[in-house]
C-alpha cells in the first residue's frame, strides 16, 4: 500500500458488491475501521468513501467530474450525454440554474396540487381494490409533472410515458436484456421529448409563458445559444423521470407510517411531517452511491488521489453513519429536532450545495410530494392486505417485495 487508505484483502470486489448490495460499503468500512478503502469493481481500481468529511472532500473544490463515474449502463439510463449531470464549471452552473428556477419553492404548490387531484382520481377508480403504491403512484406523479411543466396533458399518452420513465429507473441497476430494452425505450422517449420542445418552439403547442416547458424551450446556454432539441429533450426527461421516481419514496413513506402508527396521529395533529419525511429519505434505499473521476491529483487521508482515479461516495453508508446518526438503523424522526442541517450528512439526493455542485435540485419537490402523500395517508381509510413488507437490499434500486399494497375504502 502506498499510503493511508487501506486496500481490501481481495483483488476485486464485484462479487461482494452484488452479494451485499447496499450494505457493501458499510460492512467493509467496519472491517477496515475507517472511512475509506481501495478495491476494484468490474476490474477498475476504485476508492470507496463515506461520512460527512468524505462527502465534503468529494463535493467541494470541484475535485471530481462525473465522467466515467458510473457504469455505462446506468449512465445511459439516468444521465445522458449533454445533460446537466455531465457538465462542469460555468456551463454546469448555468444549466443548473434552469433547474433551480423551475423547481423554486413557489413553483411547487402547483405540482403538489396536481398530484393530489390525479392520485385522488386513481384511488376512486380503484373502487376498493388494492393498489401497489410503487406501481400506481407513478401515473399520478407523471400527470402532475406534465401539468406542472405546462405540457397539455391531453396530448400525451400518459400511461405509456409513465411506463417508459419508470422502466429507466427500475432497470438502471441491471445489466443484460432488461437494461437493453429500457435503453431502447429511452430512445423513443427522448424522441418524444425533443419533439415536444420543438413543437413548443414553433408555437405548435400553446404553453404559458413562464411554465417550465416554455423556459426549457427558450433556455440559452452560457454562450447565448439555444439548446439543441435533443439536449432540451434530455433535460425535459430530467424533470419528468425523477418526479415519477418519487413513487419509490412514496412506497417507503407508506411503509414507515404502517410500521410507526404513532406518527399517523402526530402528523394528523400537524406535528413535524418534515422530520418524518427526512427520516424516510434517510432510511429508504434508493441511490446507493454517487461516483466521480478525479480531475487532478490531491492528497487525502495520507494517500495520493491521482488524476483519473475513480472514487465512489457511499450515500447509504453516510445516511447510516454512527458518527452522525445515533442508532442509525432505528427509524426515529425526532432525531431531526436537534439536527445541525449539515449539507454533507443527510445525502440521499447527493452531497454539498445545489448551486455549486451536482446535488439534486429536486429535493424540495421530493419533500413536497412526500409530505402531501403522508398527509393523504393519515386521513385516508385503508387496510393493508397480507404481503411481504421486506426489501431486498441486494437489488438496486430496492423496494418492499410486494411494492407496498394498500386497499383504500371504496
Ligand atoms: C441529481 C437523487 C428526485 C432532478 C441527483 C443525484 C442524486 C439524486 C443522488 C446526484 C447527486 C450527485 O451527483 O452528487 C434523487 C432522489 C430523488 C430525486 C433519491 C427522489 C426520488 C429528483 C426530482 C428532480 C430531480 C424530483 C426534478 C424534478 C435531478 C437533476 C439532477 C439530480 C436534474 C442532476 C443535478 C446535477 O448534475 O447538477 N438526484 N433525486 N431529482 N436530480 Fe435528483
Task: Decide: 11 and 41 in contact? Cβ < 8 Å.
Answer: no
pLDDT confidence bin for 186, thresholds 50/70/90: confident
Residue 116 to residues 173, 222, 271, Cα–Cα distance (Å): 30, 37, 20
Whether residue 140 has pLDDT greater than 80? yes
Residue 122 to residues 98, 128, 130, 149, Cα–Cα distance (Å): 32, 11, 11, 21
Residue 207: count of CB within 10 angstroms of its CB: 19
Q: Which of 274, 236, 280 is nearest to 256 (CA)?
A: 280
Whether residue 80 has pLDDT greater than 90? no
First-to-last C-alpha distance (Å) of the chain: 64
- Residues 108-117 have pLDDT tens digits of 999 999 999 9
For range 34-51, the mean pLDDT: 96
- In degrees and rounded to multiples of 5, residue 40 shows phi and psi of -125, 145
User: Residue 96: CB within 6 Å of ligand 1?
Assistant: yes
pLDDT confidence bin for 78, thresholds 50/70/90: low
Mutate to test the pocket of ligand 1, among 68, 105, 148, 360 (most ligand atoms within 8 A of CB): 360
- Residues 270-299 have pLDDT tens digits of 999 999 999 999 999 999 999 999 999 999
Please give the distance, rounded to the nearest whole angstrom, from the Cα atom of residue 262 to the centre of ligand 1.
31
Please give the distance, rounded to the nearest whole angstrom, from the Cα atom of residue 243 to the centre of ligand 1.
10
Ligand 1, atom 38: closest residue by C-alpha? 358
Report residue 53 as a C-alpha cell. Answer: 468529511
pTM of the model as a whole: 0.96
Mutate to test the pocket of ligand 1, among 233, 290, 349, 367 (most ligand atoms within 8 A of CB): 349
The two counts, helices (H) then strands (E), for the chain are: 15, 10
- Give DSSP secondary structure letters for 220-252: B-TTSPBPPHHHHHHHHHHHHHHHHHHHHHHHH
Please give the distance, rounded to the nearest whole angstrom, from the Cα atom of residue 85 to the centre of ligand 1.
9
Question: 3-state class of 190 per DSSP?
Answer: helix
Whether residue 37 has pLDDT greater than 70? yes
Report residue 165 as a C-alpha cell. Answer: 420513465
Q: In the chain, what are the domains?
A: 14-408 (1.10.630.10)
Asked, as a colleague might, if the bond just before 165 is cis with ω within 30 of 0, I would say: no
- Residues 43-62 have pLDDT tens digits of 999 999 999 999 999 999 99
- Rounded Cα–Cα distance for residues 93 and 13 (Å): 35
Amino acid at each position: 500500500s502506498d499510503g493511508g487508505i487501506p486496500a481490501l484483502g481481495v483483488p476485486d470486489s464485484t462479487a461482494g458488491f452484488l452479494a451485499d448490495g447496499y450494505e457493501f460499503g458499510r460492512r467493509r468500512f467496519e472491517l477496515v475501521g475507517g472511512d475509506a478503502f481501495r478495491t476494484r469493481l468490474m476490474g477498475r481500481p476504485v476508492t470507496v468513501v463515506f461520512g460527512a468529511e468524505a462527502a465534503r472532500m468529494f463535493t467541494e473544490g470541484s475535485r471530481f467530474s462525473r465522467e466515467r463515474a458510473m457504469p455505462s449502463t446506468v449512465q445511459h439510463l439516468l444521465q445522458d450525454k449533454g445533460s446537466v449531470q455531465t457538465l462542469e464549471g460555468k456551463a454546469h452552473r448555468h444549466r443548473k440554474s434552469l433547474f433551480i428556477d423551475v423547481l423554486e419553492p413557489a413553483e411547487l404548490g402547483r405540482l403538489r396540487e396536481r398530484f393530489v387531484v390525479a392520485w385522488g382520481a386513481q384511488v376512486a377508480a380503484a373502487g376498493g381494490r388494492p393498489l401497489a403504491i410503487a406501481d400506481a403512484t407513478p401515473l399520478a406523479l407523471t400527470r402532475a409533472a406534465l401539468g406542472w411543466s405546462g405540457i397539455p396533458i391531453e396530448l400525451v399518452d400518459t400511461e405509456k410515458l409513465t411506463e417508459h420513465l419508470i422502466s429507466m429507473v427500475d432497470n438502471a441497476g441491471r445489466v443484460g436484456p432488461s437494461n437493453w430494452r429500457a435503453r431502447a425505450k429511452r430512445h423513443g422517449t427522448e424522441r418524444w421529448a425533443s419533439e415536444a420542445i420543438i413543437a413548443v418552439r414553433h408555437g405548435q403547442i400553446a404553453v404559458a409563458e413562464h411554465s417550465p416547458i416554455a423556459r426549457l424551450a427558450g433556455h440559452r446556454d452560457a454562450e447565448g445559444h439555444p439548446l439543441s432539441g435533443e439536449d432540451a429533450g434530455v433535460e425535459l426527461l430530467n424533470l419528468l423521470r425523477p418526479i415519477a421516481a418519487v413513487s419509490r419514496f412514496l412506497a417507503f413513506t407508506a411503509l414507515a407510517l404502517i410500521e410507526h402508527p404513532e406518527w399517523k396521529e402526530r402528523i394528523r395533529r400537524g406535528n413535524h411531517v418534515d422530520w418524518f419525511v427526512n427520516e424516510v429519505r434517510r432510511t429508504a434505499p434508493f441511490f446507493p452511491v454517487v461516483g466521480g473521476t478525479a480531475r487532478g491529483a490531491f492528497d487525502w487521508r495520507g494517500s495520493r488521489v491521482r488524476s483519473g482515479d475513480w472514487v465512489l461516495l457511499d450515500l447509504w453508508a453516510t445516511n447510516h453513519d454512527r458518527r452522525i446518526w445515533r442508532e442509525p438503523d432505528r427509524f426515529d424522526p425526532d432525531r431531526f429536532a436537534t439536527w445541525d442541517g449539515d449539507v454533507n450528512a443527510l445525502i440521499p439526493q447527493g452531497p454539498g450545495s445545489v448551486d455549486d455542485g451536482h446535488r439534486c435540485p429536486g429535493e424540495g419537490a421530493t419533500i413536497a410530494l412526500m409530505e402531501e402523500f403522508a398527509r393523504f395517508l393519515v386521513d385516508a381509510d385503508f387496510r393493508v392486505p397480507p404481503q411481504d413488507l421486506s426489501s431486498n437490499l441486494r437489488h438496486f434500486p430496492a423496494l418492499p417485495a410486494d411494492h407496498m399494497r394498500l386497499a383504500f375504502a371504496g
